Structure 1
Amino acid sequence: MTDQPQTSTDKPSESPADNAAPTLEAEAVAAYLQKHPQFFAEHDELLTAMRIPHQRGDTVSLVERQLKLLRERNIEMRHRLSQLMDVARDNDRLFDKTRRLILNLMDATSLEEIVITVEDSLRQEFQVPFVSLILFSDNPMPVGRWVSSEEAQKAVGGLISGDKTICGALREHELAFLFGAEQSKEVGSTAIVALSHQGQHGLLAIGSRDPQHYKSSVGTLFLSYIADVLARLLPRHTHPLRSVR
């Protein structure tokens, strides 16, 4: 059995519950507070949200000005604290991933394990979309990507001349050398560091599609740590590889 729609033309009577309570006007609020002067003493939590100016004409009292500044500084400090907490959490995650990677590299027993460990960790653990590990030698080995020192200097020599990580947008031929012609079209920004310890043994580059992701102001401490470890481990597995000075 189904309900049938109402067909009566009579309008149903309205009850007070059918309508929303009318908005209290300022006079009604004032009248209520006059009758209940203890209201704010019993509800002091409302005082922090109130704005009560102490002014005469165009002047503002010192107390009001101080309270306004304190509120603004309190809000600013809370925002800064929140940002610091976010940065701390990100650094904790980066440290944990870097620690696992370095320990795995130290446990590696072959060049193949080193290359696979670095590339897999950066892509899967660190979620880096573009990774390039290039090793230098005039006598390439069957594992990894190898180029001669002359070829590397010609393509990206200016980027790996020092010990610091370089971040930013690179030129087309530099991106093509690092990531290949096809992938280079998708790379918006790059961080690149030389694997240097008693000579240069290669380079490590990571890329992002976001042009602003890797820039001069970004922190590269963890990438530098990884590069330092690689620079010390690679010569143990690449003899008779001659490092480039």
Structure 2
Amino acid sequence: MTDHSDAPLLDSEVEANLDRQEAADSENQRNKKLLSRQVARYLIQNPTFFAENMELLETIQLPRESGKTVSLMTHQTNLLRERNIEMRQRLDQLLQAARENDQLFSHSRQLVLALLEARTVAEAGEALLKSFKEDFQVETTALTVFGPLPGSASRLGAVRSSSRASAENAIGSILRNGRTVCGTLRPSETAYLFGDAADKVASAAVVPLADQLGILAVGSSDPNHYRSSLGTMFLSYIGEVLERLLPDLLSRS
């Protein structure tokens, strides 16, 4: 007959051993955390420690995403290399933006000078359309002046003319807004602004000129080119130049 009287005692000893092992493991974890905090505090208080103990840097290992470990110095070298690449990319972006701004300024200066040298509305319109097409790669440009106009409208050249009443009927909301508008226009608005070229325009930017003098519009076949969030500083600037030049030129027509 088998005697099982010692079985509960053995089970209790196993459980006790497990409890002691868990307690020891827990204590070890607490000690490691405490030691880690102490080391971290010491390094913060002594920032020159590694400078005075350079040989330790090669012994410190850091884990990587690949599962491998690298020395602290190698990690620092890789980190500096990545930051250097990032800084170079940022510098390249800044240089590219500077070149683009410099080119924009140069083209804008040439356009303003050409407008100042114009002696007729036709010459101003020709200078504007040529610059927008060749220098700024604008697909479609239309400058419309509102009448009644002094002299003959046939002397306006590429500049279109319209009565204020027609403009109000076709683009009244744009005129009343008084600010540069970008995006997709209504078919009737596109037809009024661009005439025969309206079928080539999927998006546009429109600048109302002050005192109901007229309106400047540029268009693109790309429906997303002139978005509602597109910066309009340049177009508004050219619009202000035209507002100052056109009244005198129109009086000569």
Same fold (TM over 0.5): yes
What's the CA shift string for 1:60-106, capped at 9, x where partnerless? 99877766665554444333332222222112111111111111111
1:194 counterpart = 2:208:
yes
Residue pairs, 1:61-100, within 5 angstroms = 71-100=81-110
State the distance in 2 between where 1:188 and 1:145 align.
Answer: 20
State the distance in 2 between where 1:69 and 1:153 align.
Answer: 62
Amino acid of the structure 2 residue aligned with 1:174: E
Could you tell me which of 135, 138, 141 is aligned with 1:125? Answer: 135
CA contact (8 A) 2:121 2:246 kept: yes
- Tell me the SS of whatever aligns to 2:209: strand
Please provide the CA RMSD for this pair. Answer: 3.0
State the distance in 2 between where 1:58 and 1:124 align.
Answer: 56
Higher helix share: 2
State the distance in 2 between where 1:73 and 1:109 align.
Answer: 56
1:237 counterpart = 2:249:
yes
CA contact (8 A) 1:160 1:194 kept: yes
Q: Structure 1 vs Structure 2: percent identity of aligned residues?
A: 45
Aligned residue in 2 for 1:54: 62
- Tell me the SS of whatever aligns to 1:92: helix
Q: Report deviation, 1:201.
A: 0.6
Q: Which has the larger radius of gyration?
A: 2
What's the CA shift string for 1:90-140, capped at 9, x where partnerless? 121111111111111111112221122112221222221101100011347
CA contact (8 A) 2:61 2:72 kept: no
Gaps of 5+ in 2: 1-59
Instruction: Give the alignment's TM-score, normalised by structure 2.
Output: 0.63
Amino acid of the structure 1 residue aligned with 2:96: D
Gaps of 5+ in 1: 1-51
CA contact (8 A) 2:144 2:162 kept: yes
Instruction: Give the alignment's TM-score, normalised by structure 1.
Output: 0.65
What's the CA shift string for 1:188-219, capped at 9, x where partnerless? 221111121xx121011111122222223332
Label 1:72 to 1:237 Cα distance change in 2 as closer, same or farther (>3 A). Answer: same
Aligned residue in 2 for 1:116: 126
